[in-house]
Structure 1
Amino acid sequence: MSTSPHFLSGRHIVVAGAGMAGLSFAVALRKLWPTDAPPPQLTIFERDVKQDSEGRVGYSLSLAGADDTGGLVALRDLGLLDEILSYAISGVDKNGAFKLWDADWSQILSVRLRPASGLPTAGIRIARKHLRQTLLKAVTDEIQWGKACVSATKLESGKMLVHVAASNGSQETAVECDLLVVADGASSKIRAALRPDDVLQYAGAVQIAGIAHFPEGIPAPLNDSWGQQVSGGHGVSCFYSPVDRHKVVWALSFREPTPRPAISAPASEEIARSLLDEVLARGHMLGQRFRTIVGSATDPKGVFCLPARDKKPFRHDTELGPVVFIGDSNHAVSPFAGYGASLALKDGRDLAEKLTTATSVADAVRKYDALSVPRAAKILKTSRSRIRWGHSTGLMFFLWRGFMKTMGYLLRFTGRS
């Protein structure tokens, strides 16, 4: 008995962006593709050149595994969980709980959630470079490095025409495809072309961040923990996380009514020193350990400033053509969410699964939206709440702090801290 061919068999899929979402999609599509159907052609374009992408030290990030929305669930489904866990900075044993500290570094809260069914941990911290390298090794399709997808248009045939520009300044080219998967990040050029009014929004807070170096090893309590230090009602907080055994990334944050310009590293010596001076002044109440991390152990060359921005998720409009936005290109979240990588990994994996089991692109996208939009909206709401309460002052702060302390007692009582 013959079976109908898959609607994507022999078709051309373009993936714009080789970040977490795009790579997750590429790995998942090959892993989940039905063995009895001819596969599609997959072309991945990445604006960075390969050497720059692989050479970045970067920072650490969270991967969640407390429920089925987490990035660890996606990595398990991709067959990459064991390798990822081998790179974990924290979270693979009894250490690695998220901590909330007061201005004097006394502990307010410690959280270690129960893992989702079948997972060994509810969350880890991992260096971004190790996650990216693991995904890149798992991709079997060629990545065209140094080529950015800058716009796309729907053709009369129903296909998409993708305009690609090389980073070396060579002439722009155009590529036809039957499906365009957009994974080119929060500042997506394709989203700007197809959805020009769908832009990032300022989330109301600014982060100044850097990396502290400890040649003799990271001091306690950051050698086995990561978390947030609040300023006792002064409207300032500082996030800390190990990157490896000798480096800690820190990010001091505070609310500002309007966004300031972003400053990337490496900044000029004058600007970097000015940022560090501002951090030390704003966090003057956070104690000697804070001053050591920021003032003595941080190389000014790595300091940067980031106004937090995010964007609500959207459901897809079939009138735009066969195009799907995943990860930050659809629903950007600020660093306060702590969930951006997990959302990206789940988006890529879930879209691939829906495409392999649906009857058409429209059917797959509708089912994908039903999963992606609600979970991203929930994370966005949570991150905005963290900004509001974590930088609160006066009575609001003390109410929030009291609630956090109560939560800490309950978690200790139930054995979850």
Structure 2
Amino acid sequence: MASHFLSGKHIVVAGAGLAGLSFATALRKQWPAAVPPPRLTIFERDKDEDAAGRQGYTISIAGFDNNGGLVALKDLGLLDEALQHALLGVEGRGSFNIWDADWRRVMSVRLRAANGLPTPGIRIARKYLRQILLKAVTDDVRWGVACESAARLENGRVSVQVVGEGIGPDQSTVECDLLIVADGASSKIRACLRPDDGLEYAGAVQMGGIALFPDGIPPPVNENWGMQISGGQGVCCFYSPVDEHGVVWALSFLEPKPRPRLANSGSAEATRPVIEEARARGRMLGPLFHTIVDATTNPADVFCFPARDKKPFYHSADAGPIIFIGDSNHAVSPFAGFGANLALKDGWDLAQKLVAATSLKNAVQGFDALSVPRASKVLETSRWRIKYAHSTGLRFFFFRFLLVVLGFALWLTGRS
């Protein structure tokens, strides 16, 4: 019987988010049937019901090039199910738009789909995508268990410190042969092993919430998602439906220092100043903006947070059998609109490299060669958007000119 350097080994995945679940599913899908498989355990700090309940917002999953998450879902065999849960982007419904302060459309983007995909992109509720991945996972998921830190042992294995309800009083550490770190942007394991490699403030603050319309979302945001620019006054606002009656909005602006994060407070006293400030800063965005703000009545749906991101890194040869994927390696801000795509692709690509390689070193080198340039490009684009979407004066007019030229080019090629 054939063998593999991971046969019979124990792999721990820290985090049951999109990256961790994508990796677990991809590894089982690609593992050769004739080769003894490794044992895989997934630890997730949240309880199953808690994790799903906090993820009602929608995310963009792209399919216009090979780096998109739709390509990863197709490879995982989960594309059809994801399309069934898509809110926008299927059957020609919806596109990304940029509107001016008077809600005139500046640009509409409909790129061509890649690799025979049925659509170049969708909007889907994160909770549905996560449920699809969870259903596909066949390995043990230990809910309510957090991975606090990790250390390389002298025998070459990894010791992972774990805490939570799913751990017995005498079990504070778990040993494994390979640790996949997928515990998010605020990774505790990264903070332990790479204490100087934390999140950086990207220079912008977002505040917003979910507006509810019992009789239906008003157009044009009922069947489109996108961004409204303020005409050179330094603010912009993102909109996207979350279901048939709710639309998430996020007003953003540049600010020299980050603000404290506010989310899921449930307190009207804490969220009222956020709503009032957003209304004042977005005063030029027209009646529809104010209608959406006025329809944001649940304090638990109001948020305010600084945009943060983190540059990707290559794994060093002496780091041991510990691999960082998704946000734990390369966090991006909401302005990227691509974080979920990076997570899905990281999971698939790492599994592919591990299965095909003859050593862990070669697998990690091959994975880094794909992951780091991909994430670096997304981060660079995100910072560019932050700079120009909130621009004023001559820089704004240059930005608006670029949008007009790009919009015309898309129209000429039949993509707008």
TM bucket (normalised to shorter chain) is over 0.9
Matches of 1:160 and 1:302, distance apart in 2: 40
Matches of 2:141 and 2:414, distance apart in 1: 46
Matches of 2:42 and 2:284, distance apart in 1: 48
Give the corresponding residue for 2:414.
415
Conservation of the 8 A alpha-carbon contact between 2:240 and 2:247: yes
Q: What amino acid does structure 2 have at the position aligned with 1:129?
A: K
Partner secondary structure for residue 150 of structure 2: strand
Give the corresponding residue for 1:341.
340
- Report the count of equivalent residues: 415
Matches within 5 A, 1:10-159: 10-159=8-157
Give the corresponding residue for 1:186.
185
Matches of 1:378 and 1:221, distance apart in 2: 31
Give the corresponding residue for 1:310.
309
CA RMSD across the alignment: 1.3
Matches within 5 A, 1:151-170: 151-166=149-164
1:209-241 CA distances to partner (integer Å, 9 max, x unpaired)?
Answer: 200111111111011110000111110000000
After TM superposition, give the deviation of residue 167 of structure 1 in Å: 5.3
Partner secondary structure for residue 207 of structure 1: strand
Conservation of the 8 A alpha-carbon contact between 1:267 and 1:304: no
Conservation of the 8 A alpha-carbon contact between 2:296 and 2:302: no
After TM superposition, give the deviation of residue 184 of structure 1 in Å: 0.1
Conservation of the 8 A alpha-carbon contact between 2:213 and 2:295: no
Give the corresponding residue for 1:387.
386
Matches of 1:286 and 1:327, distance apart in 2: 35
After TM superposition, give the deviation of residue 323 of structure 1 in Å: 0.4
Matches of 1:291 and 1:298, distance apart in 2: 13
| Structure 1 position 321 matched with structure 2 position 353 | no
After TM superposition, give the deviation of residue 298 of structure 1 in Å: 4.0
Matches of 1:360 and 1:111, distance apart in 2: 43
Partner secondary structure for residue 190 of structure 2: helix
Matches of 1:167 and 1:66, distance apart in 2: 42
Matches of 1:305 and 1:13, distance apart in 2: 37
Matches of 2:168 and 2:210, distance apart in 1: 36
After TM superposition, give the deviation of residue 95 of structure 1 in Å: 2.5
Matches within 5 A, 1:238-253: 238-253=237-252
Matches within 5 A, 1:360-371: 360-371=359-370
Distance 1:380 1:57, change over 3 A: closer
Matches of 2:86 and 2:313, distance apart in 1: 32
After TM superposition, give the deviation of residue 92 of structure 1 in Å: 1.1
Gap regions ≥5 residues in structure 1:
none
Conservation of the 8 A alpha-carbon contact between 1:313 and 1:376: yes
Matches within 5 A, 1:399-410: 399-410=398-409
Matches of 1:107 and 1:334, distance apart in 2: 25
Conservation of the 8 A alpha-carbon contact between 2:267 and 2:299: no
Matches within 5 A, 1:265-280: 265-280=264-279
Q: What amino acid does structure 2 have at the position aligned with 1:36?
A: A
Matches within 5 A, 1:175-254: 175-254=174-253
Conservation of the 8 A alpha-carbon contact between 1:194 and 1:320: no
Conservation of the 8 A alpha-carbon contact between 1:276 and 1:300: no
Matches of 1:103 and 1:40, distance apart in 2: 56
Comparing 296-305 with 119-128, greater Cα deviation is found at 296-305
Matches of 2:143 and 2:129, distance apart in 1: 18
Partner secondary structure for residue 89 of structure 1: strand
After TM superposition, give the deviation of residue 297 of structure 1 in Å: 4.3
After TM superposition, give the deviation of residue 170 of structure 1 in Å: 6.9
1:328-361 CA distances to partner (integer Å, 9 max, x unpaired)?
Answer: 0000000000000000000001000100010011
Matches of 2:200 and 2:56, distance apart in 1: 24
Q: What amino acid does structure 2 have at the position aligned with 1:324?
A: I
After TM superposition, give the deviation of residue 173 of structure 1 in Å: 1.1
Partner secondary structure for residue 352 of structure 1: helix
Give the corresponding residue for 1:299.
298
Gap regions ≥5 residues in structure 2:
none
1:257-278 CA distances to partner (integer Å, 9 max, x unpaired)?
Answer: 1101111112421121110000
Conservation of the 8 A alpha-carbon contact between 2:212 and 2:295: no
